[in-house]
Amino acid sequence: MNRFWQKLKRVLAMNRILILLLITILTVSCSKSRSDPKRVAVARAGNVFLYHDQIPRMIPPGTLPADSAAIVHNYINRWARKEFLHQKAEENLSADLKIEIDNQLEETRSNLVIYQYQRQMMLERMDTILTEAELEQYYLDNQESFMLNSNIIKALFIKLPAETPNISRIRLLARSNEQEDLQELESYCYQFADKFDDFNEKWVPFNRLSVELPQDIPNEESFLRRTTFYEATDSVDLYFITIRDYKLRSTVAPFEYVRDDIKRIIWNNRRFEFIQSLENGIYNDALKENGFIIFNN
């Protein structure tokens, strides 16, 4: 019986909160003559109304009525605090500052409208297809723009616990170029390796791998010229690097290493040219239609 009365009290308390909130909404809504008669007002801060359709849907499904009321109530309170601050600022800002704000708002709106129109025109009219031949030709014509600022490699990197079985076999497989050996190596590494990065077909900065080693490599260029297989160890792990190919800093980057950069460059150039053409076309059309006049005052 006690449980029944406790549950009944909770239900009545929840309903009381909802009733109070409903009364508030109805009370403010009665002043529709001073607000928008077609909308339901839920609060007023000074001479500004908050309408029901302005409150975002923020109640998660399954929320208890009391919690729902609290969430809405908190939102209304935050809105009122911000609105009162805004009204106080409007009352106290100088006329010059208000003019400056209006000018900034007008400029911002103009920029947003222009940006959205340009974006719409690009989606509808701009050629976005980039062929491989076009990318390669740009690379050949602009190789001086693609000098490496770091050493890059194609390599295999393995980090193994020192107690891994068959270390000598793994070492032998890591130095091989045979596909069957590499498949066997991959199987070993999936079982035992803490790290196994296969960059045999992809260029990566050398320091991406060297940072994993227990000892620093003081002269990268010299190291890369004389090393195809490197092994290091610490008290816990073994480290293997098999270097398949390398390119040194201050030399021309391989095409595949800068291919994505070239795509971005060509696309950005095409985008700039399209926007310039769009702007010039609109301007020239206005001139032809005598839509642009400079008054001599």
CA distance readout (Å), 127 to 130, 138, 276, 279, 281 = 9, 17, 15, 17, 17
What pLDDT score does 35 carry? 63
**3-class SS at 11?**
helix
CATH number of the domain to which 234 belongs = 3.10.50
Residues 211 and 68 in one domain: no
Residues 25 and 163 in one domain: no
Contact 39, 29 (CB under 8 A): no
Residues 64 and 136 in one domain: no
- CA–CA gap between residue 89 and residue 69 (Å, rounded): 30
Burial category of 146 from C-beta neighbours within 10 Å (exposed 0-12, middle 13-18, buried 19 and up): middle
**3-class SS at 235?**
coil
Residues 157 and 81 in one domain: no
Q: Considering the domain boundaries, does residue 233 fall inside one?
A: yes
> Which amino acid, one-letter code, is at 284?
N
**3-class SS at 183?**
helix
Q: Per-residue pLDDT tens, the chain, 297 aa: give them.
A: 445 445 445 544 444 544 444 444 444 444 444 567 788 898 999 989 999 888 888 778 888 888 888 888 899 999 999 999 999 999 999 999 999 999 999 999 999 999 999 999 999 999 989 999 999 999 999 999 999 999 999 999 999 999 999 999 999 999 998 999 999 999 999 999 999 999 988 999 999 999 999 999 989 999 999 999 999 999 899 999 999 999 999 999 999 999 999 999 999 999 999 999 999 999 999 998 888 888 886
Residues 136 and 271 in one domain: yes
Give, as one character, the DSSP assignment of residue 147. B
Residues 87 and 212 in one domain: no
Residues 84 and 156 in one domain: no
What pLDDT score does 108 carry? 96
Q: Considering the domain boundaries, does residue 65 fall inside one?
A: yes
B/e letters for 49-84, b = 16+ CB within 10 Å, e = fewer, are bbbeeebeeeeeeeeeeeebbeebeebbeebbeebe
CA distance readout (Å), 240 to 178, 194, 254, 261 = 17, 12, 25, 31
Residues 152 and 237 in one domain: yes
pTM flag (> 0.75) = no
Q: Considering the domain boundaries, does residue 159 fall inside one?
A: yes
Q: What is the full DSSP assignment across 18-50?
A: HHHHHHHHHHHHTTGGGS-TTS-EEEEETTEEE
Residues 232 and 155 in one domain: yes
- CA–CA gap between residue 164 and residue 169 (Å, rounded): 11
Q: Considering the domain boundaries, does residue 238 fall inside one?
A: yes
What pLDDT score does 39 carry? 87
B/e letters for 267-291, b = 16+ CB within 10 Å, e = fewer, are eeeeeeebbeebeeeeeeeeeeeee
- CA–CA gap between residue 61 and residue 132 (Å, rounded): 51
Gyration radius from the chain CA atoms: 35
- CA–CA gap between residue 265 and residue 238 (Å, rounded): 42
Residues 160 and 240 in one domain: yes
Question: How many domains are there within the chain?
Answer: 3
Which residue range forms the structural domain that includes residue 159? Answer: 148-247
- CA–CA gap between residue 65 and residue 62 (Å, rounded): 9
What pLDDT score does 180 carry? 93
Query: Which residues, including other chains, have CB under 8 Å from residue 96's CB and lie 6 or more apart?
Result: none
Q: Considering the domain boundaries, does residue 123 fall inside one?
A: no
